[in-house]
A = this chain, B = another copy of it.
Amino acid sequence: MLIEITHDPIDPDAVRRSVGGSHDGAVLLFLGTVRNHNDGRTVDGMEYEAYEEMASEVLRAIAEEAATALGTDRVAVVHRIGSLAVGEVSVAIAVSSPHRAQAYDASRYAIEEIKKRLPVWKREHYTDGERSWVRGQTPRPVEEKANMSEPPSDGRPGSAGAERGKGGMA
């Protein structure tokens, strides 16, 4: 599994090509990209920061949970940090599986968990020179370890009392 927190630009095609294979009938690639607008303001860039040592571990845990939902080990999750321009890719998630339903579920699971749990923050740069931290979700400790074996169910870390993000990426 390709799992990475990187300072370098993401190559979406390479991430996609890291999954797939002759057993699989469905490949799904999700890209999160920096938008030029948020909450009615014009954005000209985004600065991503991570608690890197922890983010690597959390990203691996998310990928492994997604693989369980997927039923295959064909999962790739790469998150970029640093300064990104509008249009650049901040996160790429690729999965493949024999059937498409599992691919859609696992892909969606991975991006939702990233937004709930990954210790990453981002600051928008507006065209007027101002900057502000994008409001996010408050991660919560896993209440019961038993939940770990049921990725797609409720009760995930961060699912209780999560704040709605005001915006940022899609």
Could you list which residues of chain A lie within 8 angstroms of chain B, going by C-beta atoms?
A: 12-13, 16, 20-37, 86-87, 97-101, 103-104, 107-108, 111, 168-170
Contact = CB atoms under 8 A, between A and B. Distances in A.
A79 to B, nearest CB: 15
Given A87-B22, A169-B25, A108 B104 contact: yes
B12 A16 contact: yes
Given A28-B28, A99-B170, A36 B12 contact: no
A69 B144 CA distance: 38
A32 B20 CA distance: 10
A170 B33 CA distance: 27
Contacts of A22: 35-36, 86-87
A138 B86 CA distance: 45
A49 to B, nearest CB: 19
A28 B28 CA distance: 7
Contacts of A107: 28, 104
Contacts of A20: 31, 33, 87
A20, A26, A107 — which one has the most chain B CB atoms within 10 A of its CB?
A26
A33 B27 CA distance: 8
